Structure 1
Amino acid sequence: MPAPLRPSALALAAFACLAAPAGAQNVSPPATERVERIEIIGISPLPGSGVARDRVPANVQTATDEDLRRSQSRNLADFLGTALPGVSANEIQGNPYQMDLNFRGFTASPLLGTPQGLSVYQDGVRVNEAFGDVVAWDLIPQAAIAQVTLLPGANPLFGLNTLGGALVLETKRGDTHPGTEASIEGGSFGRVEVEATHGRRLGDSGHLFLAADAMNEDGWRDHSPSRVRQFFAKAGATAGGLDWDLALTHADNTLIGNGLLPETLLAADREQIYTRPDRTSNKMTMLALNGKWDVSATQRIAATAYLRHADADTLNGDLNDDYDPPDVEETGVENRTSTRQRGSGLALQSTWALEKHRLSLGAAYDRARSRFRQTEAEGMLDATRAVVDAEEAEVDAWISGHTRSTSVWAADQIALAPTLQLTLSARWQNTQVKTVDRGRAELGLDTELDADARYRKLNPAAGLTWQASPALTVFGQLSQGTRAPSPIELGCSDPDNACVLPNALQSDPPLKQVVTRTAEAGVRGRSGGLRWNAALFASENRDDLLFISNGRAAGYFKNFGKTRRQGLELGASRSSGALSWQLAYNWLRATFESPACLVSEANSSAGTDPACPAEDEIAVRPGDRLPGLPAHQLKAALQWAPSQAWSLGAHWRALSSQTVRGNENGRHEAGDDYIGSGRLGGYALLDLTASWRVADGVEVFGRIANVFDREVASAGALGENAFDARGNLLAPDQWTNERFVGPGAPRAMWLGVRVDFDR
């Protein structure tokens, strides 16, 4: 069961100041002083350097803390998948904090083995973990988020992993978000969440912001409790042309994500799990210093420096693939991993706002050290399919990884005419990835994990924006981005020595870095209260890195060849009086563009194609679709506020069918020896929200998710099922090839109360 809710000593100390009166509050300007709001978009990683949205040559998306509040999403990943156009979520782990998020066919995921293609920045710091480029959504302090910006395309200014886009998060400050709030929320799945924030000015020039969040829930599936603790503090000051702040982010979380479920067990009970436990414990502390100095009326210097410590421990209770009585009687195996990461970095940028140029020059240095250790212990599966009576653990892998990355960049927005801007940018990246096999050196393991690889690349981009009229902007852009293999990928790239991610690693043939080229063109406009946009894009990956599965949770990383993503984005929104709405449609075609032989023993077509004659291989050809990506998405949102006291909202999303992993060739068919198809059906979900200000400063809010209680699945894979419908372990010769799916949560309801102490 989760630990009881209790604030940490650090949070108690920080919130002791809440009893003091807050500083000056925001005051709305007189009506005569109000002007049309110009939305400024940050176009580089460092905060404080941006341009007007109409001059960005891409279909950029933004959301504020008010948007997050109105949606009442469970966390940032849930909000992005529910509300942002073009973003879809694969709940492959069955935990709301462990979603795969897909945008334009590229993924940001907390799971090792998932090809990562989106970079995520928090106040100028890239938070993709160095060991696998993964993104741990539970480590992002949701109560502290002020603005979310999603910049699409292979934007070179955001460096590594920016293949499909960059997600930029800005956190709150005490001078921009003053006041004290506290809320408590509870409801379905035993969920209880407490949140508190406090912002204030300090004297004439200082500011302070604090946020704390604590969440416990039992989960809707069996044996799936989770616990999340987040704390954030930011303090800073402004003196003349200098503005600086120092931010502390801390999280200590335990997540249970029991993963996919085979068709046989799903039909008997959607709430059950396959094997257990599947526990991830994340602990992270990050200190980030940001500063901006207006040297003159035309020059600004910005700087970011950070230290980041992240520890991750996993415990996975799995079926023993070697089970074969009477030779091997142990039915289960405990796979444990321990990952310790230490990162630091510094970035500097100078921007000149001249008559016809907005020129930026920057440089950054990042380094990270990681230590990874994996152990394995055989045991027995009990009646709940948990591994018990495990033997003494044996070390399978023990490595140290070092990543160093140096980069310089330049960007210039040139005013060719008052309504025509040319944007040129480029970033040169030099990345070294080194692994040291400590297990081989100190324990005598039969591994060969020493590697030292260096990756260099100059990535350019060029774009045009034309304000054809005050209500219409036309834009286009060409860009290139790269991703260097991480230590986990270099350590797991030998097909003869498959890895059990995030488990045992073996010798590593060299891997190439992924290079992505993107072309995008579109229009956006406004007419009265109506805003609309349309865009076309095409991205091609060369030497794409894929995790090639052997069908039993093991596999290896491989440079595949070419993959392509192309699509269409349409959107419209309007706000008029009490009513506001948003509508978005996205079409995506994501395909393999090179032939390959992939291991998928549970695919009915395995071994039937002369191009890939091995009995466990399937032949993938150009034009076959990438798995896990729906071709069509339609999202609609409606908000109605008939008075200042009442607000009602609805979020509806519909996604088309998708190919499951293991059916990359699209030829799998259900039959006597194969249970389940190679696709997941499309689905539509409706969420409703409401808020009611019952008194001055007191608000009651609630959400109903999956209103019609649809039984859906957002992720799937082909695999081998070892259990019958009642969950009894079968003899190995009776194991069946089935489709495994990630079942979506049933209808759920939550109700909460928020108190604003300054009203």
Structure 2
Amino acid sequence: MTAPFPLVLRPVVWAAALLCASSAQAQSSPPQAASVDSGALSPVVVSVERGSGGLWRGATSVDVVEGEELRDGQAQVNLSESLSRVPGLVIRNRQNYAQDLQISMRGYGARATFGVRGVRLFVDGIPASAPDGSGQAANFPLGSADRVEVVRGPMAALYGASSGGALLLYTEGGQQPAQWRTGLVAGSDGLWRLSTQATGQTGTAQEPGWSYVVDLSRFETDGTRPQSAADRTTANLKLSRQHEGGRTVLVFNRHSSFALDPQGLSRGEFDDNPEQTTSSALTFNTRKSVAQTQLGLAFEQALGNGHKLELMGYGGQRQVVQYQSIATGAQLPAGSSGGVIDLDRDYWGWNARWRHEGDWQGGRLSLSAGVASDFQSDKRKGYENFIGSTLGVQGKLRRDEVNRAETLDPYLHAEWRTQDLTLMGGVRQTRTEYESKDSYIVGNNKDDSGSKRYKATLPVLGARLQLNPSLQAFASIGKGYEIPTLNEVAYRSGGVSGFNTSLNAARSTSAELGLRGRAERTQWSATAFEIRTDDEIVVQNNTGGRTTFQNAGRTLRQGLELSGQTRMGAVGWTAAYTWLRAHYRDAFMTCTTTGCPNANPQVQVPAGNRIPGLPEHQLFVQAAWDMGWAGSRLTLEARHVGRVAVNDLNTDFAASHTLFNLAVQFKQDHGDWTLREFIRVDNLSDRKHAGSVIVNDGNGRFFEPGAGRKLLLGLEAQRRF
């Protein structure tokens, strides 16, 4: 790869120089140790020395958002509430709980119209992403989170295929004294959340027993628009026990939800009244229900002389029923899968790893080698969403198949570090097998069975150099690999039913170069990156309830990430800025009409068009003033998002917008009791805006309206025993 940063290096140097000058007289602060509770459940080894907000000695971009930051003055319902402070991450609340959050990282995952693609999700080391790369963040237990780690850049490839980035949530560990807390949040649109957490440890301080963490929560909302009400119930349990030289961890999670689907709005509908819901959502009563149960077990054992064995296994079941608004006429042709999705998924996986750590050549050497495997089996049925003239009900069977995905990934990772230098390298070979067995072969509906294999070797290298006690530089480079999901290979060219064996994985080369610094009250980072991709996966046709994908040519993503935190007296400042230029380097053909005549796309997407779903600019600024009365804190936030293309043709854009949020928090300690209260107002100016977009929507309903001015009240009581 030649000249990876010709356009974006100078802004990094300029920004870093200013930040260095501002903190040159300050003294460096000591690092903070990472939580010891990640242990055997960590999916990939990372540097464990953690400073406030990031990993100090790592050779890659990793930001850490602590559990208190996730919860303070927030509804604790969505990750989007608190992760806007992370540069390079686009995370938006669609105000549609039937479709989950919209998450992308450095441009990966932008094409997802529902769920998460291209970004791997983990909770206590257990994947919340399926082997095909699709995932959901709805079951993240924010109420008991210890931290969320946001991994960006080339090193994310060590998490497997479709890892343009990774979000890793770790729950807190039980300890003595035991703690109990209960929180209630209520606000506009009938929103409320009630949650309870209990943590503790059996036994005595001299002979501790099992540590436990229990997290129960219930959430409901009437929604911001008609047909957008939702509810969610979650239960999360973690048990862990230390034994001689090791630890055993058991994790259980139960999640159930029901959500009406308001869908997006067309340009005309959005301009006329963004608080309305399109008529088809009401006519078909679009909705989605989910039930998921999951169990995980991890074991680690020291073997002596710095060697350790780590084993992890998990399994679960997920059931989804979703009613769509596909027109009845579009369901009549042979091969249609209908307008009702009925999915029953069984999934499981395991990870076995050897790890060694010891002194070598004047530094600390960490080595690990392992094998990870994940499996999913989807029993997928499709039904018509009508019976006669009655719409929004389950009708005749139109699809009956079993789709399977299985991965087997060996990997190696090595890191050598001293006070002034870190060298890091790794490689992961990712192998994924898809198989689809069709059991619905009726009349003109042919056998749509098929299979496909994807395989790639992903090497990554990184280095960190400490220039002085308060300043260091880092760089990394590596290969990336994004496989299409099972949904994306469901239809062949032209929207014809059947396994799309011609759809290949996208391959990329990613590089980053950055500076980071810290002082007594200040820390900052500045990172430039470039990603060159071949065979980008794009939409070929999206009509009649079917989306067909194809491989386009080359794409280029170049970006700059700046972030910083500082404290001036009683006021703490946090800022994050992202500049991202993401475009197609090659022209390709796409369809805009039903059926895509003769399976031959008719419309050209010109080279240079922007990749949709991605803002060029994104800014977060927060000022938090500790007022000193009754533990009070006043927080003011500003969030700016640049304009966003809604489709590959760039025929329309969601306008840029800036939102202001205000919160007041209080805290009182009364012996073993702690009380917390907050009042929060989001979108103070009641700004009309598109909170997110549905990329390449076949009906032109691209716009998902953001919420107007909203009030939120919260109360939490905590008791120590």
The alignment's TM-score, normalised by the length of structure 2, stands at: 0.85
Aligned to 2:626: 641
Q: How much does 1:167 deviate?
A: 1.1
Aligned to 1:3: none
CA distance in 1, matches of 2:33, 2:233: 36
- With 75-84 and 707-716 compared, the bigger mean Cα shift is at 75-84
Compute the RMSD of aligned alpha carbons: 3.1
Q: How much does 1:445 deviate?
A: 6.3
Amino acid at match of 1:413: E
1:411 matched to 2:413? The reply is: yes
Do the aligned partners of 1:94 and 1:743 also contact (CA within 8 Å) in 2?
no
Partner of 1:489, secondary structure, is coil
2:494 to 493, 496, 509: 496
1:575 matched to 2:578? The reply is: no
Do the aligned partners of 1:490 and 1:509 also contact (CA within 8 Å) in 2?
yes
Aligned to 1:745: 707
Do the aligned partners of 2:452 and 2:501 also contact (CA within 8 Å) in 1?
no
Once the two structures are superposed, residues 223-264 of structure 1 have per-residue CA deviations (whole angstroms, 9 ceiling, x without a partner) of 221010000011121122111210101001012231211233
Q: How much does 1:699 deviate?
A: 2.0
Distance 1:111 1:173, change over 3 A: farther
User: What pairs up with 1:157-556 in 2 under 5 angstroms?
Assistant: 157-162=158-163, 164-175=164-175, 178-203=178-203, 204-274=208-278, 275-276=280-281, 277-296=285-304, 298-320=306-328, 335-356=339-360, 357-378=365-386, 388-389=390-391, 393-415=395-417, 419-440=420-441, 443=442, 446-492=445-491, 494-498=492-496, 505-556=497-548
CA distance in 2, matches of 1:379, 1:235: 49
Q: How much does 1:518 deviate?
A: 0.5
Q: How much does 1:747 deviate?
A: 0.6
Do the aligned partners of 1:78 and 1:96 also contact (CA within 8 Å) in 2?
no
Once the two structures are superposed, residues 391-413 of structure 1 have per-residue CA deviations (whole angstroms, 9 ceiling, x without a partner) of 87222222101222111111111
1:682 matched to 2:666? The reply is: no
Distance 1:216 1:519, change over 3 A: same
2:107 to 105, 108, 113: 105
Partner of 2:56, secondary structure, is helix
Partner of 1:107, secondary structure, is coil
1:140 matched to 2:140? The reply is: yes
CA distance in 2, matches of 1:718, 1:655: 17
Q: How much does 1:38 deviate?
A: 4.0
Q: How much does 1:122 deviate?
A: 1.4
Identity among equivalent pairs (%) = 20
Distance 1:390 1:635, change over 3 A: closer
Distance 1:615 1:373, change over 3 A: closer
Once the two structures are superposed, residues 582-612 of structure 1 have per-residue CA deviations (whole angstroms, 9 ceiling, x without a partner) of 111110011112221112359xxxx9xxxx9
Do the aligned partners of 2:583 and 2:609 also contact (CA within 8 Å) in 1?
yes
Q: How much does 1:48 deviate?
A: 7.5
Q: How much does 1:269 deviate?
A: 3.2
Partner of 2:138, secondary structure, is helix
Distance 1:699 1:718, change over 3 A: closer
CA distance in 2, matches of 1:209, 1:392: 41
CA distance in 2, matches of 1:408, 1:370: 25
Once the two structures are superposed, residues 660-702 of structure 1 have per-residue CA deviations (whole angstroms, 9 ceiling, x without a partner) of 12xx233x3xxxxxxxxx1121000111222223563222222
CA distance in 2, matches of 1:110, 1:455: 20
Distance 1:388 1:90, change over 3 A: farther
Partner of 1:550, secondary structure, is strand
Amino acid at match of 2:175: D
Distance 1:214 1:92, change over 3 A: closer
Once the two structures are superposed, residues 510-562 of structure 1 have per-residue CA deviations (whole angstroms, 9 ceiling, x without a partner) of 32222222101101001221101111101122222223333554330212222
Do the aligned partners of 1:98 and 1:109 also contact (CA within 8 Å) in 2?
no
Once the two structures are superposed, residues 356-400 of structure 1 have per-residue CA deviations (whole angstroms, 9 ceiling, x without a partner) of 3211111112222111111114469xxxxxx84568722222210
Aligned to 1:21: none
CA distance in 1, matches of 2:700, 2:427: 47
Partner of 2:79, secondary structure, is helix
Once the two structures are superposed, residues 35-84 of structure 1 have per-residue CA deviations (whole angstroms, 9 ceiling, x without a partner) of 64245798995377643323311221110110111251452332355333
Amino acid at match of 1:358: S
Count of matched residue positions in the alignment of Structure 1 and Structure 2:
664
Aligned to 2:43: 46
Distance 1:510 1:615, change over 3 A: closer
CA distance in 2, matches of 1:353, 1:656: 45
1:665 matched to 2:665? The reply is: no
1:596 to 556, 581, 588: 588
Q: How much does 1:194 deviate?
A: 0.4
Give the unaligned 5+ runs of structure 1. 1-33, 381-386, 499-504, 669-677, 722-736
Q: How much does 1:285 deviate?
A: 0.8
Do the aligned partners of 2:80 and 2:92 also contact (CA within 8 Å) in 1?
no
User: What pairs up with 1:17-56 in 2 under 5 angstroms?
Assistant: 36-39=31-34, 45-46=42-43, 50-52=47-49, 53-56=55-58
Aligned to 1:58: 60
CA distance in 2, matches of 1:254, 1:392: 17
Q: How much does 1:195 deviate?
A: 0.5
Distance 1:718 1:618, change over 3 A: farther
Once the two structures are superposed, residues 700-743 of structure 1 have per-residue CA deviations (whole angstroms, 9 ceiling, x without a partner) of 2221111110000133469999xxxxxxxxxxxxxxx9664211
Distance 1:268 1:256, change over 3 A: same
Q: How much does 1:278 deviate?
A: 2.4
CA distance in 2, matches of 1:167, 1:179: 27
CA distance in 1, matches of 2:686, 2:68: 27
Do the aligned partners of 2:97 and 2:259 also contact (CA within 8 Å) in 1?
yes
